[in-house]
Amino acid sequence: MKTNIGLIYKKEISSFFNSAVAYITLIVFLLLAGWFSMNTFFLINQSDLRQLFSIVPIIYLAFIPAVTMNLIAEEKNDGTLEFLTTMPVSDAEIVIGKFLASLALIGIALLFTFTQLFTVVMIGNNVDLGALICGYLGLLLLGGAYTAIGIFASSVTDNQIVAFIVSFLIIAIFFILDKILMFVPGFLSTIFEYMSTGYHFESISRGVIDSRNIIYFASVITFFLLLSIRILEMRKWR
Amino acid sequence: MIRIDNLTKYYGSFLALDSINFQVENGEILGFLGPNGAGKTTTMQIMTSFLAPSQGNIYVDDLNVIDDSYEIREHLGYLPEHNPLYEDMTVFDFLKFVAKVREIEPASIKRRIEEVIEICGLQKVVHREIGVLSKGYKQRVGLGQAIIHDPRILILDEPTSGLDPNQIAEIRELIKTLGKKKTVLISSHILQEIQATADRMVIINEGKIAADGTLDELMAKFRGDTILEMELKDADTSKLESIPTINEKIKVVDLKEKDDQFNLVLEYPNTIDPREDIFEYAVNNNWKILEMSRSKTSLEDVFRKLTVEQGGSHEN
């Protein structure tokens, strides 16, 4: 059976680049990532991208909600969701197509930071290329998890601002869990740590690809995408 | 054939559709008429699988919307109310997107888009962004996306609302042309709209079917009474009030006396025509008839009767 995921994906990509959304978010992303990762780069005098890998997750907090906020909320508000879902297109195809499109935009943003990667590779000594590749893989997986959360937030409302705030809050919770461990009782701290995105991202960006980390990100993505599909299907509740 | 079978829809505790039944025959244009909030859009949204019924089902031939939603959607072309479109796309890109989703052969997509542009009169705006088009053009784009896959069934929800008279005439013409080959269900809260396009109509009010039939059938069924207005001179009230002695089916609806003239309004079923008898009666009493005019109930009155007097809404 043919799938419409590709069509939805293409539609979203062209809609990103037809409007100002893609350009503005990309520029802001690159300015922030470039400044915060490179301003101390030569002072630290290390041949790695630790700075970049620690700043991008923070930029994600606002960048990803900005990319995903309109994806479903706007279609609900404009009524185009009714037009789209009454064609032979499934809710899952819509959600997955939109997810892949925004992940592609994040991929493009990361691609632009390759200027930093090349700088390190060209002028650095003892460059651990494996760790760098793992770091980028980690950023992509992290971006995927946050994007799934953003799409979920966009599916619960028809208001883009609400979608932005909801996704920012959920992402912030995942982001902060492993940074507040000293305030939580011991038996909770392992759970908090394991639930946090930061813990898994850091494991990967150290250069170790552990299946547990991959499974974690895959689960977060699957969970929030499934939730979004269920939310869309809620209109068919009797 | 589309068969709406005992369809019921609750929004929370609000009953939007109360077990309605009707059929749309193959090849007919069926008008779906009712005041705002009567349940027209809900019915159409269930038919197109945007919503699911609380009870009951809709059958399209031997398919039904609960089990075969995907297949039914392939056979439908749908123009939703308010005509939502991707406003940042050009007309051509939009039609191309729909054509691909509708699984039109890649080789024939271009030809099919050209056909639709021709049918809907979109030649002048093909490469313009939908967002900047006039409402009339947007409506044609909406119709274009609904027919691009040449569906057997067209569902049009208020296709002419918000258009100016010229645009309305154009869209009606377009719908009639399309309706020659397709089964069309068209909704409206305006009677003239349905009268102008549909072969048969179903009137819905407060989630219930109030009437179902062709224009003539509905007229015959609900026209009911003829109104006879008379202006008389030299008459007297008590005699005038006794007019029903001529025929017990005649009712005096209104009687006004002004100077020495009387304005009399009578009502009787259209199965009888007592005008001659009334004339004789007037002559026998030496009344002078200045005016006598008969008016039949229009379909508009029937619609009002069905939708307002049954406790319906007054919002239109």
Query: The CATH number of the domain where B259 resides is what?
Result: 3.30.70.980
pLDDT band at A110 (very low <50, low <70, confident <90, very high): very high
In a domain, B127, yes or no: yes
Query: What are the tens digits of pLDDT across the range A57-98?
Result: 999 999 999 999 999 999 999 999 999 999 999 999 999 999
- A&B contacts, CB < 8 Å: 66
Asked whether residue B13 falls in the same domain as residue B111, the answer is yes
pLDDT band at B316 (very low <50, low <70, confident <90, very high): very low
Asked whether residue B38 falls in the same domain as residue B72, the answer is yes
How many structural domains are present in chain B?
A: 2
In a domain, B310, yes or no: no
Find out whether A64 and A167 touch, Cβ atoms under 8 Å. Answer: yes
Query: Quick check: helix, strand or coil at residue B163?
Result: coil
Residue A8 CB partners (closer than 8 Å, separation 6+): A89, A93, A94, A96, A97, A98, A101
Find out whether B268 and B225 touch, Cβ atoms under 8 Å. Answer: yes
Asked whether residue B280 falls in the same domain as residue B183, the answer is no
Q: How far is CA A198 from the centre of its chain?
A: 13
CATH of the domain at B86: 3.40.50.300
On average, the pLDDT of chain B sits at 87
The confidence score (pLDDT) of residue A121 equals: 87
In a domain, B304, yes or no: no
CB distance B51–A78 less than 8 Å?
no
Q: How close B193 gets to chain A, by Cα (Å)?
A: 23
Q: Which residue of B has its CA nearest to A235?
A: B51
In a domain, B152, yes or no: yes
Asked whether residue B158 falls in the same domain as residue B205, the answer is yes
Asked whether residue B17 falls in the same domain as residue B29, the answer is yes
Domain end: B201, B221, B241, which one? B221
Residue A178 CB partners (closer than 8 Å, separation 6+): A192, A193, A196, A198, A199
In a domain, B40, yes or no: yes
Of the CA atoms within 13 Å of residue B147, those in its CB half-sphere come to 24
Asked whether residue B77 falls in the same domain as residue B216, the answer is yes
B176 lies in which domain range?
Answer: 2-221
Sign of CA dihedral A112, A113, A117, A119: positive
Asked whether residue B117 falls in the same domain as residue B197, the answer is yes
Question: What's the pTM?
Answer: 0.84
* B51, B74, B82: residue with CB nearest A79: B82
Residue B155 CB partners (closer than 8 Å, separation 6+): B44, B47, B48, B76, B77, B78, B79, B146, B184, B185
How many structural domains are present in chain A?
A: 1
Asked whether residue B154 falls in the same domain as residue B285, the answer is no
What is the H or E stretch that residue B34 is in?
Answer: none
* A80, A86, A89: residue with CB nearest B78: A86
Asked whether residue B74 falls in the same domain as residue B7, the answer is yes
Residue A119 CB partners (closer than 8 Å, separation 6+): A41
Per cent of chain A over pLDDT 70 is: 99
Asked whether residue B232 falls in the same domain as residue B271, the answer is yes
A197 lies in which domain range?
Answer: 5-236
**Mean pLDDT value across residues B52-80:** 92
